[in-house]
Amino acid sequence: MTAPGRSKLPVVQPGAQSRRQFLRTAAGGTAAAALGACGIEDLVRSHIHELSKEDLNRIIARLEKKYSETYGKSVTVATNAAMPGVEFGYGLDLSRCIGCRRCVYACVKENNQSRRNPQIQWIRVLEMEKERGVDLVHADPYYQAELVPRPGHFYMPVQCQQCRHPPCTKVCPVKATWSEPDGIVVIDYDWCIGCRCCTAACPYGARKFNWAEPQLPSEEMNPVTHYLGNRPRMRGVVEKCTFCIQRSRVGRYPACVEICPVGARKFGNLLDPKSEIREVMDRKRVFVFKEDLATEPRFYYFYAT
């Protein structure tokens, strides 16, 4: 088991980056400022990349206030940008994974997913038959077992593969989702129109739609949030794994990496030759899921033993 520690990720320094970096352009976006009133402002504000720094700060302050009131605790909404020289990569050791689904629930807890009616999970663990290898037709995501791993089976967790050529961002009609410079594919929940083109286009079932009002009890709410990550979502929008952007951008492991009891999950900076993920790629043979679709994931599977 790998001990979780900040030192494992050499590239990132904790602390908020300037919001300016987060904004690709600072021009335009005065419509929201002109109107002022809260409800209206939500409706007519500009795309996040067109907002001025002041407008963005105002929106973030309002969100923090709203969430803090709703959940009865001090909620922060970070906007720190991708760090220069960082491109995140993920490794998953299929020979180690035991299918315990601790990652699934650590993710739900960390990322403020809806807890019930319906519960939303960003990681889906598929139970597969060893005889068949990676075969989706016979994969079972709903396995119920007293003890895992079950004989004759292996387990393949699937979550957002953070593709280099994401089919999901291409189809979005309103630019509500995009790839960040550090490779994380994000969604602006306040811009998504809920058309679900992206859920149709994703080959990995990684995108989840809020079919109903998300149910997030105050006591279970994680108050440390990022605008593009685990801040509370609303009904009618799509959400997905962001490599725990609120953690990874301040030098922490994603929750799923941290919780994994067998160390099957590896994470790090692809641009750093000494990183954990590069170590895996150098020493093991990695493969990507659905390679024929040329999505070029930043999520690598491998068999370590």
Partner 1 sequence: MGFLRFLQGSGKLLIRGNRAYWLWVGALLVAIAIGLAGYAKQYRVGLIATNMRDQITWAFYVGNFTFLVGVAAAAVLLVVPAYVYQWKPLKEVVVLGELLAISALTMCLLFILVDMGRPDRLLHILPIPGIGTPNWPRSLLAWDALVLNLYLAVNLVVAAHVLYKQFQGQPYNKKLFVPLVLLSIPMAVGIHTVTAFLYNGMAARPYWNASILAPRFIASAFCSGPAVLLILFQILRKTTGLEIKDEAFFKIAELMAYAMFFNLFLLGAELFKEYYSSTEHLLYTRYYWQGIGEHKALVPFAWLALGCSVASFLLFLIPATRRNWVTLNIGAVLIWAGVYIEKGMGLVVPGMTPDTLGEIYEYTPTANEWMVALGVFGVGFLVFTVLVKIAVPILQGTFSAASSGPAPGLTR
Least distance CB 57 / partner 1 (angstroms): 18
Least distance CB 145 / partner 1 (angstroms): 18
Least distance CB 64 / partner 1 (angstroms): 22
Mask of contacts with partner 1, 15-54, x by CB under 8 A? -------------xxxx-----------xx-xx--x----
Least distance CB 25 / partner 1 (angstroms): 12
**Residue 296 CA to its chain's centroid (Å):** 17
| Look-up of token digits 């109903």 | 212
- Give, as ranges, the residues between 220 and 239 that touch partner 1 (CB under 8 A): 235-238
State yes or no: residue 304 binds partner 1 (CB under 8 A). Answer: no
State yes or no: residue 208 binds partner 1 (CB under 8 A). Answer: yes
Pick the closer one to partner 1 by CB: 161 or 248. Answer: 161
State yes or no: residue 105 binds partner 1 (CB under 8 A). Answer: no
Give the 3-state secondary structure of residue 231.
coil
> Of 79, 161, 210, 275, which one interacts with partner 1 (CB under 8 A)?
210
Question: Nearest 5 degrees, angle CA 274-CA 277-CA 278?
Answer: 50
**Which H or E run contains 64?**
helix 53-71
State yes or no: residue 192 binds partner 1 (CB under 8 A). Answer: yes
**β-pair type (124-129, 88-93):** unpaired
CA distance 231 to 119: 16
Nearest residue to 41 (alpha-carbon basis) of 62, 25, 66: 62
CA distance 169 to 56: 23
Which residues sit opposite 90 in a β-bridge? 267, 299
State yes or no: residue 87 binds partner 1 (CB under 8 A). Answer: no
Pick the closer one to partner 1 by CB: 57 or 117. Answer: 117
Give the CA distances from residue 155 to residues 79, 152, 182, 203, in Å, rounded to whole numbers and listed in that order. Answer: 35, 10, 28, 19
Question: What stretches of 112-215 show up as alpha helix (H) in DSSP?
Answer: 167-171, 197-201
Least distance CB 128 / partner 1 (angstroms): 10
CA distance 113 to 256: 14
- Give, as ranges, the residues between 128 and 167 that touch partner 1 (CB under 8 A): 136-139, 141, 158, 167
- Give, as ranges, the residues between 47 and 76 that touch partner 1 (CB under 8 A): 47, 50
Q: Which residues of this protein are in contact with partner 1, per CB under 8 A? A: 28-31, 43-44, 46-47, 50, 117-118, 124, 126, 136-139, 141, 158, 167, 170-176, 191-197, 199-205, 207-213, 235-238, 293
